[in-house]
Structure 1
Amino acid sequence: MEKDFLNLIQKEFPIEERPFEILAKKLNSDEDKLIEIYKKLKDEKIIRQTSAIFDTKSLGYKSSLVAFMVDDIENAANFINTHPGVSHNYERDNEFNLWFTIAVEPDSKLGLEKTVELMAKKVNAKDFIVLPTIKMFKIKVQLDVKGDRAKKEKLEKKKKIELKLEPLHFELIKRLQEDIEPVKKPFEKIVRDLNIDYETLKKEAQNLQNAGILRRFASILYHRRAGFNANAMVVWSVDEKNALEIGEKVASFTAVSHCYLRPTYPKWPYPLFSMIHGKTKEEVENVVKDIKKEINPKDYKYLYSTREFKKQRIKYFSDEFKEWEKKYA
Structure 2
Amino acid sequence: MKFKTFAMFVGPSVFLMLLFIAFPLVSVLLNSFQVTQPVFTTQEVETCSAGFLTQNCVTEVKTIPVLDENGDTVTTTEWVGFSSYANVLGGQRFVDAITSFDLGALLRIDFWRALRFTLTFTLITLPLVLGLGLAIAVVVNNATKAIKGPVIFVSLLPFIITPVIGGLSIRWLFYGDGIVTVWLEALFNTDLSIAANGWAIEFLMMFYRVWHVAPFAFVIFYAGLQTVNQDTLESAVIDGASRWERLRYVVIPHLMPLIVFITLIHLMDAYRAFEEVIAFSSESYRITLQYLTYDYLTPDDAGNRAISSASASAMLTMVGVVILLAAPLRRTWQEHRGR
TM-score (norm 1): 0.23
Greater strand fraction, Structure 1 or Structure 2: 1
The answer to which structure, 1 or 2, has the higher relative contact order (CA under 8 A, 6+ apart) is: 1
Greater helix fraction, Structure 1 or Structure 2: 2
